[in-house]
Amino acid sequence: MKTLFHAFSILILTTWPASRADAQERRHNLMPTPAEVHFQSGKLTVGASFSVAVSGHNDRRMEAGIDRAMRRLEGRIGMELKRGLATDATGPTLVIECREAGRSVPSLDEDESYSLEVTSGRAALKAQTVVGALRGLETLLQLVESDRDGHYIPSVKVEDKPRFRWRGLLFDSSRHFQPLEVIKRNLDGMAAVKLNVFHWHLTDDQGFRIESKKYPKLTGKGSDGLFYTQDQAREIIAYAAERGIRVVPEFDLPGHATSWVVGHPELASAPGPYQIERQPGIFDPTLDPTREEVYQFLDAFFGEMAALFPDEYIHIGGDENEGKQWDRNPQIQAFMKERSIKNNHSLQAYFTKRLARILQKHNKKAMGWEEIMADDLPREVVIHSWRGPESLAEAVKKGFIGLLSAGYYIDLSYPASNHYRVDPVAADKNLSRQEEARILGGEATMWSEYVSPETIDSRIWPRTAAIAERFWSPGSVADVDDMYRRLAVTSVRLEELGLTHEKNYRSLLRRMAGGKEIGPLETLVSVVEPVKQYNRGKQRPTTMLSPLTGFVDAARPDSEASRQFAALVAGFLADAPRFQTNREEMERALAKWRDARPAIEAITRRSGLRDVEPLAAELSDLAQAGLEALACLVESKAPDGQWGEVKMAILQQAAKPKPSAVEFAILPSVRQLVIAAIELPQLRGQPPLEWHKRVKTLAEVARPQ
């Protein structure tokens, strides 16, 4: 469900209103933004005497959640707080009033709402359920600020509940196995931004990652020994439940099934033998939907998994089945003919229906990728849209419930703003209110072809926090600049949970450089991003066994330096024809990039970083082009003769695919400057309005190509 992503641009609602949500009366650092938040004057001091009491319902999960929150608060304020709940007469700082435990297994119907009122004397958190209280505690922690006098929470009233009930992160443990501690710290991150579904992609062509006691050959032959025992899975389920997060397991069928058939070739639609797949992509091995033994196997297997995973849903995949093995198998062809099954899609529908019935027998509901949709499928099946919003709209119009992942593919290396602008409810699909209500929410997808335990956090965070806001907050919360401002704060706060997204890239650079002097490499890595979509695999062929310790692994999506530079350029051009705004800052940045070349090359040559070495020269040339363009604009003087052609050639060169599999994120801004330098001086003598019109069209040329 991931090789194509053509629908992405359609989803970007460029006309989204840029105004701040009404409820935001004051700059805050909350993410996701609550449904309603009203700041008041005054503040609650947060010091060593901070204490918590619970009134109404209380239980072990609540106390554990409070304890975790208090430990984080201690870390922030650098002071020890009293353990346990307050019992002293002076009155606690925070009173949590909770009505009931909520579901013992977190469910789609969990009430996650809460209200929070902070005055200068006291904080009061009210929630129907423990999970609601946990959500409120995260908001409370996000409200903590500081000034010279120490830490405090501003007086505020918050009324909050999620817009969508299903707010997930798909976590692919198949392509690259991830140890338990990686999952745990990411569950903590999810809870911090109020996500509530951990979609655990446990099987795929590249590895079968969950122990089956009934069928030990599944992991015995299909996992390289890298799998979760059932005890470990229970540990993760409990850890997630503690944080109000559901664990929805995915067993991808009937395609993406190589790892199933390595140990059980008898399930496949062709004889085998099979080996664990090491390449990324779409592969032929597919279960045989025509044999009863296959269903007997699946019945036993899903019976076991239904007992292990308490959630009411099991994801059965269903994506990207090209049916090649079916086409070539005479028995399958005969079966189809006999039953008047017209094509592979219908054959898969037959398989899905039978599988859904098996799940029903084990008291589970099925969900699957959009390809499983068929008219005679029960409407309780959840349709998971990955190719675009059309299929989701079609699903809810047909009466299915569904959720959206198209637009939230964080493995494609797009900036957070792209995902942030995608709404689970597409504005152009004319859905009725009932149809809209069938859209449960969405999931960010961390497909793991190109991530290791060392790099995965940097692919999930901080961008997923922006997606979490899209799922939780009112649709009117849509100011991209403000999102980025809060995202930077959120990103640092997420580090307190042990997440490594802000720190591991420097470790990679140090090891690449063979030492601690990595300043020049940091300069370079700050202006590049991993290539978008799945182009990495083309430019830098990588199997599932390849080391993920290259420059592209140190590079991170959504380059901050480039985004800041783009903002500088926009301000500079808007100042036409004067061209003074941001000028010096741009000159400094460009000069730094131009001049970094010798220092970068000194490292890359010493360290054998052959694929990184050419980037230094390209960066230098880009920056030089930018500086020259800037000078032309400032002096309002058209560049000489061939200048434009030469510089555009440099831009083209720098935009070419490279074995390093990174791209210059500053390139669109430099292109904008160069084209501006070519075009704008021709307007000399014309009124500013004419300049501004032309500048507006220039913003278009700056888009990534």
As measured in angstroms, the least distance from the Cβ of 313 to its own copies is 31
- 197: β partners: 168, 246
As measured in angstroms, the least distance from the Cβ of 662 to its own copies is 14
With tokens 């931004």, the residue in question is: 193
Of residues 381 and 466, the one with the C-beta less far from its own copies: 466
CB 35 within 8 A of CB 21: no
CB 250 within 8 A of CB 316: yes
- Considering the rule CB under 8 A, would residue 503 count as an interface residue with its own copies? yes
- Considering the rule CB under 8 A, would residue 189 count as an interface residue with its own copies? no
- Considering the rule CB under 8 A, would residue 536 count as an interface residue with its own copies? no
Cα–Cα–Cα angle for 408, 412, 414, rounded to 5 degrees: 75
Helix (H) / strand (E) containing 395: helix 389-397
Of residues 113 and 660, the one with the C-beta less far from its own copies: 660
Among candidate residues 242, 250, 320, 529, the one labeled active-site is: 320
As measured in angstroms, the least distance from the Cβ of 469 to its own copies is 19
- Considering the rule CB under 8 A, would residue 598 count as an interface residue with its own copies? no
Which residue from 269, 258, 261, 254 is spatially nearest to 331, judged by alpha carbons?
269
**What distance in Å separates the CA atoms of residue 274 and residue 523, rounded to the nearest whole number?**
46
Q: Which of residues 41, 78, 330, 700 is near its own copies by CB under 8 A?
A: 78
- Considering the rule CB under 8 A, would residue 235 count as an interface residue with its own copies? no
As measured in angstroms, the least distance from the Cβ of 264 to its own copies is 23
Of residues 77 and 425, the one with the C-beta less far from its own copies: 77
Of residues 49 and 507, the one with the C-beta less far from its own copies: 507
Six-digit token pair at 404?
A: 């959206």
- Secondary structure (3-state) at 336: helix
Could you tell me how far CA 311 lies from the centroid of its own chain? 22
- Considering the rule CB under 8 A, would residue 676 count as an interface residue with its own copies? no
- Considering the rule CB under 8 A, would residue 606 count as an interface residue with its own copies? yes
What residues numbered 81-140 form the site for its own copies, per CB under 8 A? 83
CB 446 within 8 A of CB 456: yes
As measured in angstroms, the least distance from the Cβ of 205 to its own copies is 18
- Considering the rule CB under 8 A, would residue 178 count as an interface residue with its own copies? no
DSSP string, 167-210: EEEEEE-SSS---HHHHHHHHHHHHHTT--EEEEEEEETTEE-B
- Secondary structure (3-state) at 49: coil
- Considering the rule CB under 8 A, would residue 511 count as an interface residue with its own copies? yes
- Considering the rule CB under 8 A, would residue 71 count as an interface residue with its own copies? yes
Q: Is the dihedral of CA 369, 499, 470, 700 positive or negative?
A: negative
Of residues 80 and 375, the one with the C-beta less far from its own copies: 80
Residues 6+ apart with CB under 8 A from 684: 577, 636
What residues numbered 544-573 form the site for its own copies, per CB under 8 A? 545-547, 549-550
Q: Which of residues 97, 495, 585, 587 is near its own copies by CB under 8 A?
A: 495
Active site residue 25: no
Interface with its own copies by CB under 8 A: which range of 124-132, 256-264, 502-510, 696-704?
502-510
- Considering the rule CB under 8 A, would residue 59 count as an interface residue with its own copies? no
φ, ψ (nearest 5 deg) of residue 204: -165, 180
Q: Which of residues 6, 213, 433, 516 is near its own copies by CB under 8 A?
A: 516
Q: Which of residues 26, 122, 610, 684 is near its own copies by CB under 8 A?
A: 610
Of residues 437 and 492, the one with the C-beta less far from its own copies: 492
C-alpha to C-alpha distances, 537 to 68, 79, 194, 506, nearest whole angstrom? 41, 48, 33, 23
C-alpha to C-alpha distances, 373 to 145, 252, 346, 607, nearest whole angstrom? 48, 15, 10, 52
Interface with its own copies by CB under 8 A: which range of 203-211, 315-323, 542-550, 693-701?
542-550
**What distance in Å separates the CA atoms of residue 650 and residue 644, rounded to the nearest whole number?**
10
Pattern 396-435, its own copies, x by CB under 8 A: ----------------------------------------
Do strands 662-664 and 528-530 pair parallel, antiparallel, or not at all (unpaired)?
antiparallel
Pattern 292-311, its own copies, x by CB under 8 A: --------------------
- Considering the rule CB under 8 A, would residue 700 count as an interface residue with its own copies? no
As measured in angstroms, the least distance from the Cβ of 496 to its own copies is 6
* Cis ω before 254 (30° cut-off from 0): yes
Q: Which of residues 20, 161, 354, 506 is near its own copies by CB under 8 A?
A: 506
Interface with its own copies by CB under 8 A: which range of 19-27, 120-128, 313-321, 540-548?
540-548
Burial of 469 (0-12, 13-18, 19+ CB in 10 A): buried
As measured in angstroms, the least distance from the Cβ of 80 to its own copies is 4
Six-digit token pair at 358?
A: 């098996």
Do strands 365-369 and 382-385 pair parallel, antiparallel, or not at all (unpaired)?
parallel
Which residue from 111, 104, 107 is spatially nearest to 128, judged by alpha carbons?
111
Six-digit token pair at 437?
A: 């209500």
With tokens 């991808």, the residue in question is: 252
Interface with its own copies by CB under 8 A: which range of 54-62, 73-81, 301-309, 520-528?
73-81
**Number of residues forming the site for its own copies (CB under 8 A):** 47
- Considering the rule CB under 8 A, would residue 80 count as an interface residue with its own copies? yes
As measured in angstroms, the least distance from the Cβ of 167 to its own copies is 25
- Considering the rule CB under 8 A, would residue 148 count as an interface residue with its own copies? yes
Amino acid at 645: E
CB 74 within 8 A of CB 49: no
**What distance in Å separates the CA atoms of residue 468 and residue 169, rounded to the nearest whole number?**
9
Of residues 314 and 596, the one with the C-beta less far from its own copies: 596
Cα–Cα–Cα angle for 491, 494, 499, rounded to 5 degrees: 110
Interface with its own copies by CB under 8 A: which range of 120-128, 210-218, 280-288, 495-503?
495-503
- Considering the rule CB under 8 A, would residue 225 count as an interface residue with its own copies? no
**What distance in Å separates the CA atoms of residue 445 and residue 165, rounded to the nearest whole number?**
17
Q: Which of residues 117, 312, 496, 587 is near its own copies by CB under 8 A?
A: 496
- Considering the rule CB under 8 A, would residue 275 count as an interface residue with its own copies? no
C-alpha to C-alpha distances, 640 to 288, 573, 605, 681, nearest whole angstrom? 68, 21, 36, 12
φ, ψ (nearest 5 deg) of residue 516: -85, -10
Which residue from 370, 349, 359, 253 is spatially nearest to 311, judged by alpha carbons?
359
- Considering the rule CB under 8 A, would residue 147 count as an interface residue with its own copies? yes
As measured in angstroms, the least distance from the Cβ of 605 to its own copies is 4
Q: Which of residues 7, 10, 79, 574 is near its own copies by CB under 8 A?
A: 79
| Active site (catalytic) residues | 320
Residues of this chain that interact with its own copies (CB under 8 A) are 71, 74-80, 83, 146-151, 179, 181, 454, 488-489, 491-493, 495-496, 498, 502-504, 506-507, 510-511, 514-516, 543, 545-547, 549-550, 605-608, 610
